[in-house]
Structure formats: structure tokens, C-alpha cells
Structure 1
């Protein structure tokens, strides 16, 4: 159940949250809220793959 939950969240994130790689965002120049979104997306992706 946990894995399917994170897969669903990952799909929602893909639709709702912006993709900073497509915008070629430099991580060293990212703002705090952008880093938080990147971290959240990474966390959800890792949990969905486990």
C-alpha cells in the first residue's frame, strides 16, 4: 500500500509541481522554496521506487 501511495503522489507531483530541470535551474543559485520542491520530489521518487 505504501508503494502505491507514493506512486500516486509522484504522478500528482509531475502534473502540479514545476520541473526545474526543464528550466535549466542552477542548483547553487536556487531559492529555498525551489530546493524544498526538489527535495520533496526526490523523496517521493525514492519511496515510489523502493
Structure 2
């Protein structure tokens, strides 16, 4: 389930690393997306 969700996230959600976002200057909604993507990616790898 998490592998499918990770593929959907890759298509739909923005990639902040490609945009060159500085984590220390990220807004709360950007941090929430980063955390969510990290959680789903970690679960997909397991």
C-alpha cells in the first residue's frame, strides 16, 4: 500500500529539493509535506 502511495506522492506533491528549498526557511505547510513524504517513503522501503 505504501509503495503505491509513494508513487502517487511523487507525481502529485512538489519536490522541494529540486526547487532548492532551505529547510530552515520552510513554511509550516512545506514542513508538513516534507514530513509526510518522508514517513510514506520510510514505510514503502520497509
Sort the TM-score into its range (normalised by shorter chain). over 0.9
Which stretches in structure 2 are left out of the alignment for 5+ residues?
none
State the alpha-carbon separation in 1 of the partners of residues 25 and 40 from structure 2.
23
- Aligned ranges 1:15-26 → 2 under 5 Å: 15-26=11-22
Partner of 1:31: 27
Runs of 4+ in 1 over 6 A off after TM superposition: none
Structural RMSD (CA)? 0.2
Which structure features the higher share of helix residues? 2
Asked whether 1:13 is paired with 2:9, we answer yes
State the TM-score, normalizing by the size of structure 1: 0.91
State the alpha-carbon separation in 1 of the partners of residues 7 and 45 from structure 2.
13
Which stretches in structure 1 are left out of the alignment for 5+ residues?
none
